[in-house]
Amino acid sequence: MLQKHILHADETPIKVLRADKDRKTHRAYLWVYAPAIHEGLNAVIYDFTPSRAGAAHARRKLYELHVANKSDIAAQALASFKALYAIETEAKTLTTAQRQALREEKAKLNGHDPLAYLRDILERLSTQPNHRIHELLPHHWQPAQQ
């Protein structure tokens, strides 16, 4: 499906019960992907995500912070996003295996799995004391104890 020229995507918010939180509901998302009808592939992919902590949303918030406050930290983060997007542009014409090899060689900083890092810090960020916020920076980060 990734080889097709046009890919339709839809995000649908849904309410999901949380067994770990007094069985209250929270907002999760169902993503649906399908190629255009003229692409010659009749397929649909469904993807469930428990939250909306995607990179595009994180980048947008950093951009807004930089525009509003001329934040140097936000500017550094935006430069990292720019480098990541350059890698993805390079990967666009590669096969799936080549794309994976390129990403493994280049999306990692400080030896971390980016998804594990982002998931962990986004879960911890709201409760992390201000005087210990430096612990969540990539060069200091250690995964939370399970």
Is the model's pTM score more than 0.85?
no
What pLDDT does 146 receive?
58
What pLDDT does 54 receive?
73
Q: Which domain holds residue 18?
A: 7-49
What's the token pair of residue 121?
């810090």
What pLDDT does 115 receive?
80
What pLDDT does 21 receive?
65
Q: Do 130 and 69 belong to one domain?
A: yes
Q: H or E element: which one contains 16?
A: strand 7-17
Q: Are 75 and 66 in contact (CB under 8 A)?
A: yes
Q: Convert the pLDDT of each residue in 85-106 to its tens digit.
A: 899 899 989 998 998 889 888 8
Q: Are 27 and 15 in contact (CB under 8 A)?
A: yes
Query: Is pLDDT of 109 > 70?
Result: no
Give Cα separations from 88 to 39, 81, 82, 107 (angstroms). 23, 10, 10, 9
Number of domains in the chain: 2
Q: Do 73 and 11 belong to one domain?
A: no
Tell me the percentage of the chain whose pLDDT exceeds 90.
12
Q: Do 86 and 132 belong to one domain?
A: yes
Q: Do 66 and 42 belong to one domain?
A: no
Q: Do 23 and 69 belong to one domain?
A: no
Where helices occur in the chain by DSSP H, the ranges are 55-69, 72-91, 96-105, 114-124
Q: Do 63 and 123 belong to one domain?
A: yes
Q: Do 108 and 88 belong to one domain?
A: yes
Q: Convert the pLDDT of each residue in 13-44 to its tens digit.
A: 899 887 776 778 888 888 898 988 888 889 99
